[in-house]
Structure 1
Amino acid sequence: MSTTSNYTVTGMTCGHCVASVREEIEEIAGVTSVDVTLENGAVRVVADREIPREEIAGAVAEAGYSLV
């Protein structure tokens, strides 16, 4: 069973920012898909388990950005 979660990330300004956020979230165990949109900061995470918001926030922080 997969779960889909949506978040908003602030501070991204370019394609490199998007790639950094995506790569950090993809490293979380159980994540199967990550879509990041630069224009509105939207992040969609699909995983095969429930991932705590704090875990996503930590990955985003590792990339240098903030989860709203």
Structure 2
Amino acid sequence: MNQTFNVQGMTCGHCERTVAKALKQVDPQAEVRIDREQGRVEVESTWPRDTLARAIANEGYSVAAA
């Protein structure tokens, strides 16, 4: 299932890697696409949306539904 999140606070490549790593720790099979300029994170995963959002938020980023 493709899920899209608006993520605020990503300012660099390190931020992108941190978000991707957090999502992969939840679901190692997840496909993660990040558009830092738009503040969008797309995740192809069967895990619940709230679990994925929590993984991003736990890294210090603000997450909202897209």
User: How many residue pairs get matched?
Assistant: 64
**Residue by residue, what CA displacement relative to the aligned partner does 1:14-36 show, whole Å, maximum 9, x if unpaired?**
11111101100111136421111
Do the aligned residues in 2 keep the contact of 1:35 with 1:43 (CA within 8 Å)? Answer: yes
Deviation string, structure 1 residues 16-60 (Cα, Å, up to 9, x no partner): 11110110011113642111111011111012x2x2221112111
Higher radius of gyration, 1 or 2? 1
Sequence identity, in percent?
34
Q: Aligned letter for 2:34?
A: V
Mark the runs of 5 or more structure 2 residues left unpaired by the alignment.
none
One-letter identity of the residue aligned with 2:56 = V
Distance 2:22 2:15 in 1: 11
- What are the ranges of 5 or more consecutive residues in structure 1 without an aligned counterpart? none
Which structure 1 residue ranges, 4+ long, deviate > 3 Å from structure 2?
A: none
Corresponding residue to 2:26 among 25, 28, 44: 28
